[in-house]
């Protein structure tokens, strides 16, 4: 009798523990997107065939666009010039630094670092804000395999690449081949859950589920 | 006499030590958790290749919840737009907001975790759990409305300024949770240590050992899991009644009094102070569309949905604990010790949440200022 009670109480304790663990959960699973971005990206190449950086154009959803414009002054109601939006663009790129610009690059398996963004500005069109900015690589790199991922590991921001021409190569050697994987086409999930990835931990974080993967092969 | 003097000196010291140890364990556990579970630390960069388990979860219930939330949330903006021209669309907006609230709270988040832990730690009833859940959700909605009403409508400040205010409120809320948790750990630590001392052997094994003792002749057999059990071991140095009740967990009678409610409202204040980023976005958007009132209505309905889910989880936590109490309460000291242990652990969790949230290890819903 006592033994059974002990077992039962242990079971209950376990249940409580599991319930609480579920309540906390991994932080990453707690977030759900509040911001939606439709993105296009361009990979910039130098004359010698090395990658020099990435140029992004991110269009925010209407709710976030409206939110971001709150309190911004404009001469004409509902029309915002690049100059009027300059302070907001400044805030945008400065805040994005904390999140690594949601852009993660690897050249032949080696992580690449980015410098501060340049040529950034905001555009307001049809009620939506588009943030344009260029991320120069710290050191331009020549690589056979270039991998670029655009995503928010905490999934506060949902990145969706544009249906038309999501990724372009600017000035890349003619032999370079581009391949692009969206997060929801199943390949990203399969890859994440694959045993190989599970074992080596590659791309196995939660946010990577939502990663847009760009790969450029230049043989 | 010898024991009397020791009784005076040791509990405070032991409690202080316990809190130190617990804080260390909390920080260590949270830090460990960051490495294991979290993909990104707010101070470091993203850490690709961090967490296989989280990725696995996404496919299941959590993934489904996330997908549903996103769907409903995205429909809110179009519903507000539609409401500009079509009065009926307001009802659609409210319906979507309500369901969004339910789903939003069903995903893991700190609010219900803190409330549930508090209920378990503080021997609260399910009924009070429901009241606290609704009150904190109401406060959360109210804070969101006040922030946007003052920030955007009255002062027409920028999103950056409002977001800054949001962050300040967030830090205050987390600090309050941590302080609250520390207090719970302090009081429950005393009860736990007392229960340990009442055991024949105050070792970590006491729980297991006590469980094997059969004191069926003595058992009180009721739902009250208070210090009365400590008297069962008459042949050992024991704790007298006068030591109990000073920094002890409150009696059910005390809880029902104004002090108990005050403590309860302390929790909802700490938890509900922090507005939901989603609500703020919806409110600002509604304001820009000239439908601020619809945004306010949507925010409160969202809060109602959230409250229902949080209340359900809180009731589950309290029921689980009641069951544990009933199962372990059939026996002497061991049962009391077991319950003190559970309460102590729950108090530790509240502290852990507060500390974790404060230092950014557990961002329930990060306030992102772009």
Find how far residue A213's CA is from the centre of its chain: 10
Q: CB distance from B69 to chain A under 8 Å? A: yes
Ranges B13-27, B153-167, B197-211, B279-293, most confident: B279-293
Residue of A nearest to B106 (CA): A23
What mean pLDDT, rounded, does chain B reach? 68
3-state secondary structure B220-262: CCCCCCCHHHHHHCCCCCCCCHHHCCCCCCCCHHHHHCHHHHH
CB contact under 8 A, B159 and A71: yes
Contact status, residue B306 vs residue B137, Cβ threshold 8 Å: yes
B21, B29, B15: which is closest to B352 by C-alpha?
Answer: B29
Residue B103 has pLDDT above 50, yes or no: yes
* Residue A2 Cα, gap to closest chain B Cα (Å): 7
More confident residue, A169 or B209: A169
* Residue B6 Cα, gap to closest chain A Cα (Å): 32
Q: Which two tokens stand for residue B55?
A: 């990725």
Residue A180 has pLDDT above 60, yes or no: yes
Residue of B nearest to A31 (CA): B365
Q: CB distance from B57 to chain A under 8 Å? A: yes
How far apart CA B54 and CA B36 sit, in angstroms, is: 10
Across the interface, of B62, B66, B158, the residue whose CB is closest to A72 is B158
CB contact under 8 A, A12 and B338: no
Helix axes B110-121, B126-148, angle to 10 degrees: 140
**Residue A7, SS3?**
helix
pTM comes to 0.69
Residue A196 has pLDDT above 60, yes or no: no
Residue B216 has pLDDT above 80, yes or no: no
Computed from CA positions of residues B15, B220, B210, B325, in that sequence, does the dihedral angle turn out positive or negative? Answer: negative
3-state secondary structure A170-201: ECCCCCCEEEEECHHHCHHHHHHHCHHHHHHC
The DSSP string of B67-135 is HHHHHHHHHHHHHHHHHHH-TTHHHHHHHHHHHHHHHHHHS--HHHHHHHHHHHHTT--HHHHHHHHHH
Which of B45, B54, B106, B208 is the best residue to mutate to test the A interface, defined by the most A CB atoms within 10 Å of its own CB? B54
Across the interface, of A61, A68, A208, the residue whose CB is closest to B370 is A68
CB contact under 8 A, B160 and A206: no
- pLDDT score at A104: 93
Residue B242 has pLDDT above 60, yes or no: no
Across the interface, of B77, B342, B365, the residue whose CB is closest to A30 is B365
A102, A98, A161, A179: which is closest to A133 by C-alpha?
Answer: A102
B143-196 pLDDT per residue, tens: 999 999 998 888 888 888 888 888 888 888 888 888 888 888 888 888 888 877
Neighbour-count burial of A8, counting CB atoms closer than 10 A to its CB (0-12 exposed, 13-18 middle, 19+ buried): middle
Residue B121 has pLDDT above 70, yes or no: yes
Q: Which pLDDT band holds residue B214 (cuts at 50, 70, 90)?
A: very low
Neighbour-count burial of A35, counting CB atoms closer than 10 A to its CB (0-12 exposed, 13-18 middle, 19+ buried): buried
- pLDDT score at A9: 60
Backbone φ, ψ for residue A155 (5° rounding): 60, 30
Count of pairs with CB atoms under 8 A, one residue in A, one in B: 226
Residue A26, Ramachandran bin (φ over 0: left; ψ between -120 and 50: alpha; else beta):
beta
Whole-number Cα distances in Å, B260 to A112, B85, B256, B257, B349: 56, 49, 6, 5, 20
Residues 6+ apart with CB under 8 A from B353: A24, B110, B113, B114, B117, B177, B178, B181, B362
Residue B9 has pLDDT above 50, yes or no: no
Share of chain B above pLDDT 90, in %: 12
* Residue B111 Cα, gap to closest chain A Cα (Å): 9
B196, B121, B146: which is closest to B354 by C-alpha?
Answer: B121
ipTM of the complex: 0.74
CB contact under 8 A, B368 and A34: yes
Residue of A nearest to B40 (CA): A153
Q: What is the rounded average pLDDT of the residues B46-55? A: 34
Residue of A nearest to B341 (CA): A13
Q: Which two tokens stand for residue A136?
A: 């120069």
Share of chain B above pLDDT 70, in %: 59
Contact status, residue B256 vs residue B344, Cβ threshold 8 Å: no
* Segment among A14-18, A214-218, B157-161 with least mean pLDDT: A14-18
- pLDDT score at B330: 58
B55, B162, B66, B139: which is closest to B109 by C-alpha?
Answer: B66
How far apart CA B75 and CA B92 sit, in angstroms, is: 10
How far apart CA B255 and CA B26 sit, in angstroms, is: 28
CB contact under 8 A, A204 and B52: yes
Residue B250 has pLDDT above 80, yes or no: no
CB contact under 8 A, B285 and A67: yes
A92, A155, A58: which is closest to B65 by C-alpha?
Answer: A155
Q: Which pLDDT band holds residue B331 (cuts at 50, 70, 90)?
A: low
B258-293 pLDDT per residue, tens: 446 677 777 778 888 888 888 888 999 999 888 899
Burial A141-180 (b: 16+ CB within 10 A, else e): bebeebbbbbbbbbbbbbbbbeeeebbebeebeeebebee
């Amino acid at each position: 009798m006592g033994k059974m009670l002990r077992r039962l109480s242990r079971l209950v304790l376990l249940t409580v523990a599991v319930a609480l663990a579920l309540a906390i959960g991994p932080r990453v699973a707690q977030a759900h997107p509040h911001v939606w971005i439709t993105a296009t990206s361009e990979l910039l190449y130098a004359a010698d065939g090395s990658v020099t950086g990435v140029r992004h154009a991110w269009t925010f959803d209407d709710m976030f666009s409206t939110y971001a414009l709150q309190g911004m002054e404009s001469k004409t109601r509902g029309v915002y010039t690049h100059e009027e939006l300059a302070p907001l663009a400044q805030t945008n790129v400065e805040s994005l630094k904390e999140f690594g610009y949601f852009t993660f690059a690897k050249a032949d398996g080696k992580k690449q670092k980015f410098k501060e963004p340049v040529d950034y500005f905001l555009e307001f069109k049809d009620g939506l804000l588009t943030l344009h900015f260029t991320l120069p690589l710290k050191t331009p790199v020549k690589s056979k395999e270039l991998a670029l991922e655009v995503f928010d590991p905490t999934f506060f921001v949902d990145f969706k690449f544009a249906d038309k021409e999501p990724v372009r190569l600017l000035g890349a050697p003619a032999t370079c081949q581009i391949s692009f994987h969206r997060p929801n086409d199943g390949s990203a999930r399969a890859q994440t859950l694959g045993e190989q990835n599970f074992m080596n931990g590659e791309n196995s974080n939660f946010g990577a589920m939502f990663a847009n993967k760009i790969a450029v092969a230049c043989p | 006499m010898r024991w009397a003097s020791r009784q005076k000196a040791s509990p405070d010291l032991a409690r202080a030590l316990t809190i130190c140890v617990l804080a260390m364990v909390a920080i260590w556990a949270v830090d460990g958790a960051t490495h294991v579970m979290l993909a990104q630390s707010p101070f470091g960069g993203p850490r690709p290749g961090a967490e296989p388990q989280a990725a696995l979860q996404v496919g299941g219930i959590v993934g489904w919840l996330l997908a549903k939330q996103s769907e409903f949330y995205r429909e809110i903006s179009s519903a507000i737009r539609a409401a500009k021209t079509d009065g009926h669309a307001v009802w659609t907006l409210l319906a979507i907001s309500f369901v969004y609230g339910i789903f939003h709270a069903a995903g893991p988040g700190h609010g219900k975790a803190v409330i549930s832990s508090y209920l378990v730690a503080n021997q609260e009833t399910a009924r009070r759990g429901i009241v606290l859940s609704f009150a904190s959700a109401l406060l959360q909605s109210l804070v969101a409305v006040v922030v946007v009403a003052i920030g955007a409508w009255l002062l027409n400040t920028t999103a950056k300024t409002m977001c800054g205010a949001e962050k300040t409120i967030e830090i205050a809320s987390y600090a309050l949770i941590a302080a609250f948790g520390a207090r719970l750990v302090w009081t429950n630590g005393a009860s736990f240590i007392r229960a340990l001392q009442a055991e024949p052997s105050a070792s970590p094994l006491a729980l297991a050992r006590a469980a094997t003792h059969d004191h069926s002749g003595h058992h009180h057999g009721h739902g009250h899991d208070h210090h009365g059990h400590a008297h069962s071991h008459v042949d050992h140095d024991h704790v007298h009644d006068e030591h109990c009740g000073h920094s002890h967990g409150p009696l059910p009678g005390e809880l029902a009094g104004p002090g108990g409610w005050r403590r309860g409202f302390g929790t909802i204040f700490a938890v509900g102070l922090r507005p939901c980023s989603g609500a703020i976005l919806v409110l600002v958007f509604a304001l820009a569309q000239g439908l601020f009132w619809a945004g306010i209505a949507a925010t409160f309905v969202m809060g109602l949905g959230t409250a229902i889910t949080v209340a359900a989880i809180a009731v589950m936590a309290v029921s689980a604990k009641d069951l544990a109490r009933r199962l372990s309460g059939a026996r002497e000291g061991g049962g009391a010790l077991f319950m003190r242990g559970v309460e102590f652990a729950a108090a530790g969790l509240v502290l852990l949440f507060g500390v974790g949230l404060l230092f950014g290890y557990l961002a329930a819903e990060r306030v992102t200022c772009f």
